[in-house]
């Protein structure tokens, strides 16, 4: 394989429909590039946003770009702010929320890639 074939510039991420005004742009992953090994997505959430708890079968890395958010992992609450990052191991029970008065922007990297079949949200809504 030539070096040229090992490079992909993503200039048109896929916008993933989401409830509760969450904006998701998947740059790499199952939906955008048919890659099951990793997903990389930019998220923007409004003040007051939250989502049901989930227990995914993937490791997730969160890099905060703007604002802050509350992340509850296995019953312990953490607040991560712009410039901070967090690793959450697979099969952890996790809930994301933005109870703050400003929007939050972050990147999510999932290994293997995020999928509706492996996220296991509490309400069954994927």
pLDDT classification of 124: cutoffs 50, 70, 90: low
- Kindly report, residue by residue over 26-60, the tens digit of the pLDDT: 999 999 999 999 999 999 999 999 999 999 999 99
Task: Walk me through the domains of the chain, giving residue ranges and CATH numbers.
Answer: 24-119 (2.60.120.10)
Q: What is the DSSP letter of 54?
A: B
Q: What is the largest CA-CA distance in the chain?
A: 49
- Kindly report, residue by residue over 67-92, the tens digit of the pLDDT: 999 999 999 999 999 999 999 999 99
Q: Which helix (H) or strand (E) holds 117?
A: helix 116-119
State residue 30 phi and psi, 5-degree precision: -60, -45
Q: Pick the closest to residue 96 from 110, 120, 77 (CA basis).
A: 77
Taking a C-beta distance cutoff of 8 angstroms, is the pair 86, 15 a contact? no
Q: Which helix (H) or strand (E) holds 25?
A: strand 23-28
User: Is the pLDDT at 125 greater than 60, yes or no?
Assistant: no
């Amino acid at each position: 394989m030539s070096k040229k074939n090992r490079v992909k510039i993503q200039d048109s991420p896929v916008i993933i429909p989401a409830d509760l005004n969450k904006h998701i742009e998947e740059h790499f992953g199952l939906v955008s590039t048919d890659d099951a090994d990793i997903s990389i997505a930019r998220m923007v959430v409004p003040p007051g946003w939250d989502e049901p708890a989930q227990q995914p079968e993937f490791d997730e890395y969160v890099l905060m770009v703007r604002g802050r958010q509350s992340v509850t992992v296995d019953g312990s609450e953490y607040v991560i702010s712009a410039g901070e990052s967090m690793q959450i191991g697979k099969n952890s029970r996790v809930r994301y929320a933005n109870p703050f008065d400003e929007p939050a922007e972050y990147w999510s990297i999932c290994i293997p890639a995020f999928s509706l079949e492996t996220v296991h949200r509490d309400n069954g809504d994927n």
